[in-house]
Chain A
């Protein structure tokens, strides 16, 4: 079966613009995570969904960031009024249950560049 799919793979936008990043998890995975990663660093947690609801959104840096998962499958990360500091690789991962014994399956990420 297909793995986690993220689109677009690259996104260049101007400061102040709005962007949407899409994540298609593995079918049947109830847990979905968004992370942000800078070059050579570990992924930084943003938000975790269990089904349709955000179980933990404590990692969202400010109210410009928002994520949805309306049908418990595809998720969209939305960033308003982008800033140059938002430039990073945004990773999405899904897992069967969301517990520690259930591995995270990552997509290849969306590289966001804010000019």
Chain B
């Protein structure tokens, strides 16, 4: 079993909708949590980084971490067609990132 589980989707939403993405993890030592966005045939791009539990907001993006339930979330408000990509969650307690499988998101114009 992978240390970070993520539903691969795909997820399709209309433009302007809220996109909700989730991951669960099993390693209680994880304390760093990240979301990456990956466009087709490109490298992952760091979107959000969170340390320990809590919320972090950056523009239309909000990341949440609940360590008690080992749950990681990313919300994208007012989604745009340019948000269509694969979103990868990742977690670590040191330098080795453990990644989820990635969720493919399509925002329909």
Q: A and B bound?
A: no
Q: Which residues of A contact B (CB under 8 A)?
A: none
Q: Which residues of B contact A (CB under 8 A)?
A: none
